[in-house]
Amino acid sequence: MKTYIPKYIKEKSRGLLSKKIKQSTALLTSCTLCPRQCKVNRTKEEKGYCSTGKKAFVSSFSAHFGEEPQLVGDKGSGTIFFSNCNLKCIFCQNYDISVNGTGQEVEDESIASIMLYLQKIGCHNINLVTPSHVVPQVLKALDIAIDFGLNIPLIYNCSGYESIDTLSILKGIIDIYMPDFKFWNPKISKTYCNALNYPQIARNAVKEMFDQVGDLKIDEAGIAYSGLLVRHLVMPGNLDGTYHILKFLKEKISSHTHVNIMSQYHPMGNTGKIKELSFPLTPEEFRSAMQMAKKFDLKIIR
């Protein structure tokens, strides 16, 4: 295979990255970066649902070996965990980061330096974790990092609660989209993350992502470099939602969709008030979810 050139490098060479920076930054003055549509002026440090103003906050960064094997390889996935979140699920395993906002405020130049550091230590990609609310800051950092030699694939690791307008700005920038597809039932998404419209938003977002990057592509070394990879966390008592999500991926996205069926749900965050979330996922529920994925003949990530 020829050496892969990340999409963002091509986009900058066409003079389009600077345009996308201006487009996304303009959205901060009456913020509509995500489906919450808070319309606060983040350039004046007004804060909406994501609790983030003008600058991004970073909780941590590292060569991460707990991601999917196709992202990790032997050198790790270069993860940057952004603090705060536009979804804020009550059961989030990173509750201190996503809801409590643990992390440090960083300049765009610092994000660029982190990207370059992760590449220097050998990471196979830059993995942006929960980046939906800091897209302008990421694009500015990317512009800086490219000038200093950044040249590994960029992953957009998100909740699936994405604005189509923002995703349109990211067209030609992101190499690998890795959204969660959490819920099919609007009543459940309302209860678990205060987002009644999550299911429809996620369906539209996954379609847009696939249209941009297509099926996941993997090189001779087994490392993904482009395409769509969907995560689905199986929730206790919600196998009906799992069935419909997998059916959607098969019939509306691609029969070759790569999907990670995740079993690690356990009560965390603020789950104590909801009875059905007070228990971990059972082995039987996870086996049923895996059988569904096999039935739909999707590409199951292992």
Per-residue 3-state assignment (H helix, E strand, C coil) for 142-189: HHHHHHCCCCCCEEEEECCCCCHHHHHHHCCCCCEEEEECCCCCHHHH
Q: CATH number of 7-300: 3.40.50.150, 3.30.110.70, 3.40.50.1000, 3.20.20.70? A: 3.20.20.70
Q: How far apart are CA 112 and CA 71, in angstroms?
A: 20
Burial of 23 (0-12, 13-18, 19+ CB in 10 A): middle
Q: What does the mean pLDDT of the chain come to?
A: 96
State the pLDDT at residue 1.
53
Q: Residue 106 pLDDT more than 80?
A: yes
Burial of 220 (0-12, 13-18, 19+ CB in 10 A): exposed
pLDDT tens digits, residue range 138-192?
999 999 999 999 999 999 999 999 999 999 999 999 999 999 999 999 999 999 9
Contact 226, 217 (CB under 8 A): yes
State the pLDDT at residue 133.
98
pLDDT tens digits, residue range 39-93?
999 999 999 999 999 999 999 999 999 999 999 999 999 999 999 999 999 999 8
Domain ranges within the chain, ordered by starting residue: 7-300
